[in-house]
Amino acid sequence: MGLAVSVGSLAALNALDEEGAGWLRESFRAVNRVLEGHGLPTHDEPERFEASIDDLRQSCLSFPYSDLHLLRRSYAYMREGLSPIPDDDSLTDKHAAVIEAASEKFDSHLLCHSDCEGMYVPIDFAEPIFDEDLPGVLLGSSHALLRELHSLASHIGIEFSEGRPTRACEAELQDPDYDGSFTTERVVWYAMWEAATMSIQYRTAITFE
């Protein structure tokens, strides 16, 4: 089993699984109750998703849970003023201590989120929201997540131009045979970046499943 990072989930379920769509609508109602309780706008998840396959590229991608932890490790090392670790798939107690230290302020939407469920919504708020009524207990902001991913990009070898990866870099990110430094982190970064970008563009939540 692995983690699926998706956008447009309700629209997809409408076509495939009526019961699942009903469950997800109830999850969004819970999210909105919590958002209202924090004085934030509510989220209206689209029942139809207008993006094309070409738009989506890697935004609905599954990968092992541990791969997400490697991306979080790189971000945590950057936040702590340390150099991210290339080409090392181990997750040691030392790494965990750095991630914990970087998470202590509870202000990172990348670090402070469930490993296997939960959502990011296209509403901009400063800190992740914790509430037992939320799916996955923690709710993130797609806007804040995108800012964190942008700040990490250069540290794992992703070059930007005009707000997105350069064409050459994006070709590498889409190449299943690419084998350079930070390969795993770059694959997960790209999936998360595309999901956050499309979440904001199409006003749809990112779901972890």
Structure tokens at 147: 């800012």
pLDDT digits (tens, 9 = 90+) for 115-171: 989 999 999 999 999 999 999 999 999 999 999 999 999 999 999 988 889 999 988
Beta strand pairing status for 118-121 and 138-141? parallel
Q: pLDDT at residue 3 above 70?
A: yes
Asked if 46 contacts 11 with a C-beta cutoff of 8 angstroms, the reply is yes
Stretch 11-32: mean pLDDT, rounded? 93
Asked if 75 contacts 148 with a C-beta cutoff of 8 angstroms, the reply is yes
Alpha-carbon distance 59 to 119, whole Å?
Answer: 14
Residue matched to tokens 């109750």 = 33
State the CB neighbour count (10 A cutoff) for residue 143. Answer: 17
pTM: 0.93
Stretch 13-37: mean pLDDT, rounded? 94
What residues form DSSP beta bridges with 24? none
Asked if 114 contacts 139 with a C-beta cutoff of 8 angstroms, the reply is no
Asked if 149 contacts 193 with a C-beta cutoff of 8 angstroms, the reply is yes
pLDDT of the residue at 15:
85
